[in-house]
Structure formats: C-alpha cells, structure tokens
Amino acid sequence: MLEQFVLFIFQLLVILALAPLLNGLIKKLKAFFQIRKGPPLFQSYHDLLKLMRKDSVVSENTSWLFNVVPVISFASVLSAGLMIPIFTTALPFGFAGDLIAVVYLFALARFSIALAALDTGSSFGGMGASREMFIASLVEPAMILSIFAVAINVGTTNIGFISTDVLSQGITALSPSHLLAFVAFFIISIAETGRLPVDNPATHLELTMVHEAMILEYSGKQLAVIELGVMMKQLLVFSLLCNIFFPWGISSGLNAGIVASIIVFSVKILVLGICMAIVESTTAKWRLFRLPDLMSISLMLAFLAVVFSIIMRGE
C-alpha cells in the first residue's frame, strides 16, 4: 500500500517536473538545427513562474466555463499520466485506464479547451476550435488502428503491461507490424502535440494558429495551467512512443534499476526530440486541407500494421 502511494507521488512529480524541461529541450534542439542559440534549457520553468505571478485578464463575454476549463484539461491530462509508464512500468493506477482511455482523456482536455475557445466570442477562438476538432477527427481513426495493432501483438491494452510484454518478447517484438504502428503513431504524435507541419507551436500568426488561437484569450495563472497541461501532454505522448514501442531499459518498479531507467529514458527522449526537431526544421507548415493526406498516410500504415499482425499471428 505504502509502495503504491510512493509510486503514485513519484509519477505525479515526474510528470509535473519533467514536462517543462522537455519543452525547453525541444526548443533548444530546434534552435540548434536552425543555427540559433535559442532560449535557455530551463526557460519554460521561468515562463510558467512568471505567468503564475501575473493577474489574469478575462474576456467579458465569457461564462464560468472559461474559468473551469484550465482545471479540467489539466486534471484530465494528469490523470492520463498515471496510466502511462515513464521511468517504471509499475503504475498504481495502471488498471484504471488503458490506451483507449488515455486517448479519450486527451479528448476530454481537447473538448474542454475547444469550448473555452468558443466562449470568448472571438473569431480566433472559433477558428482554432474548428480546426482542432477537424484535426482530431483525422487523427482518431489512425490512432485506434495503431492501438489495435499494438494490442494484437502483445495481447493487452494496458500500457504498463504492453511495455512488459514487449520487453519479454525481446528483439522478436520488432516485427513489421510493430514498426509500421510506430511510424503511424509518430505521425499522430506530431498532430497530438501540435507540431509542424500540422500546427506551429511557435507562431502567433493569426491565420496559421490552431492551438494558440484557442487559448488566445487566456492570461496569467490560467494560461500557466493550460500551458503546463500542454507540456505534460507532450511528455506523455513522447513517453507513449518510447515505452510502447521501445521499452528496453525501463525498470519494473522503484528499485535500483530506476537510475538506469532514467538515463535510458533521457537518451530515448533525446533521440525522439532530435527526430521531432529535424521534422520541424525541414518542413514548412502544411495547408490545413492538405492534412487529410498526411493523416491518411498514418491511417494506411496503421491499417497495414493491423493486417500484418493478423496475417502473421498464426506463425
């Protein structure tokens, strides 16, 4: 019981503490590829602290919903975090939600932020909400199919078990369908974390914004909560990519292996971050109506992954 509680607190602290660092890391990597110096690694913490000290300005058009949404989106992402292994596959709340539940918890966060965006009555909010829900509709089928592909390979959808199952299969786990599902999921994660070519997290250019347009009216502490939620989601999506598809090195509990696990995870995140930074530095933002092409690629890959795993299951 005590161990479970310690794990619970540990997981919470890891998510809350690491999320801004990952954000800083990606910014730094992007700056490296663009031959800039970039903001310091810990800039995101400073930004959040600064926002927390500030007062909020709230639009007169808004209702109570606007004030509740940051809290809901934060809570739903954090709850999802308890079901996703980061340093260890021992998750006290691993039973409470599987991969599908995580997807829907993220959907809860998205749904609430989209409503808040409409609540301000600004055209930007509506535009952002409309596009976000559009992109979500493109992402969801590919997401479910790649979840199916993974689940067929390992026989479970609870993420902690997926990691241990893939570990126990050893190198044979890297089947074609596993890798295809990984690529599909990588494309999805670009959309889920709002990165180029789907959305540009660094822009406030009116006509290209998606996520930024939705939270345009937020300020001060509320903005800090939303930003932290977004950073947490980014960390969680990356952890999913690392620990579902390449869980090697993850520890099975709060034991000596945790130090090695932290190091291995950092390396994996760094590699992923570099991949993301390369993608972001080499592509321009796509037109909104070209995104269905990108997402159909992901959908097709995920479908192929499913087909592969079904055909190869007899062997």
Partner 1 sequence: MAFTHLFLGLVFTYLIGAALSLALHRNDRSVTYASFMSSFLASVFGIIFSLSVMYGDTFVINIPGSSILQFGVSIDKLSAFFILVISITSLAVSIYSIGYVTEYFGKKDVGYLGFLFNIFILSMILVVSVSNAVMFIIVWELMSIISYFLVIYEHEKSETRKAGLIYIIMTHVGTGFIILSFLVMASVAGSFNFESFKGIGGQLSPAFKDMAFLFALIGFGTKAGIVPLHIWLPYAHPAAPSNVSALMSGVMIKTAIYMMIRFFFEFLGVDTLWWGILLLLVASISSLLGVMYALMEHDIKRLLAYHSVENIGIILIGLSVSMIFMSARQPELAAFGLIAALYHLINHAMFKSLLFMGAGSIIFSTHTKDIESLGGLIKKMPWTAFFFLIGSMSISALPPFNGFVSEWLTFHAQLLSTNLSINLVTILVLGSGAALALTSALAAACFVKAFGISFLALPRTVPAENAKEVPNTMLAGMGILSFMCIVFGISAYYVVGILDSLSEPIVGIGIASNITNVFTIGTIPSFAGSISTTWIALLLILFMPLPIILFRSSLTSKYETWGCGQPRSTARNEYTATAFSKPIRKWLENIYRPHREIYTTYANSHFFKTSFKFESHIEDVFEQYLYNPFIELTLAISRSFRVIQTGSIHAYLAYIFAVLMILLISIITGGI
Residue 213 contacts residue 125 (beta carbons within 8 Å)? yes
Q: Can you tell me which of 21, 31, 118, 254 binds partner 1, judged by CB under 8 A? A: 118
Q: How many residues of this chain bind partner 1 (CB under 8 A)?
A: 88
Q: Is 75 in the site for partner 1 (CB under 8 A)?
A: yes
Q: Of 182, 181, 185, 208, give the one whose Cα is nearest residue 197.
A: 208
Of residues 78-97, those binding partner 1 (CB under 8 A): 78-79, 82, 93, 95-97
Residue 226 contacts residue 66 (beta carbons within 8 Å)? no
Cα Rg of the chain (Å, integer): 19
Of residues 27-56, those binding partner 1 (CB under 8 A): 52, 55-56
Q: Is 283 in the site for partner 1 (CB under 8 A)?
A: no
3-state secondary structure of 13: helix
Of residues 180-209, those binding partner 1 (CB under 8 A): 206
Q: Can you tell me which of 7, 14, 29, 72 binds partner 1, judged by CB under 8 A? A: 72
Residue 220 contacts residue 57 (beta carbons within 8 Å)? yes
Q: Can you tell me which of 142, 184, 215, 264 binds partner 1, judged by CB under 8 A? A: 142
> Nearer to partner 1 by C-beta: 109 or 269?
109
Q: Can you tell me which of 41, 152, 262, 297 binds partner 1, judged by CB under 8 A? A: 152
Q: Can you tell me which of 7, 25, 29, 115 binds partner 1, judged by CB under 8 A? A: 115
Q: Of 94, 120, 103, 89, give the one whose Cα is nearest residue 250.
A: 89
Query: For 310, how many CA atoms within 13 A lie in the half-sphere containing its CB?
Result: 9
Q: Is 148 in the site for partner 1 (CB under 8 A)?
A: yes
Q: Is 296 in the site for partner 1 (CB under 8 A)?
A: no
Site string for partner 1, 246-275 (x = CB under 8 A): ------------------------------
70, two tokens: 């940051």
Q: Can you tell me which of 133, 202, 263, 271 binds partner 1, judged by CB under 8 A? A: 133
Question: Of how many residues is the chain composed?
Answer: 315
Buried b (16+ CB within 10 A) or exposed e, 180-206: bbbbbbbbbbbbbbbbbbbbbbeeeee
Q: Is 242 in the site for partner 1 (CB under 8 A)?
A: no
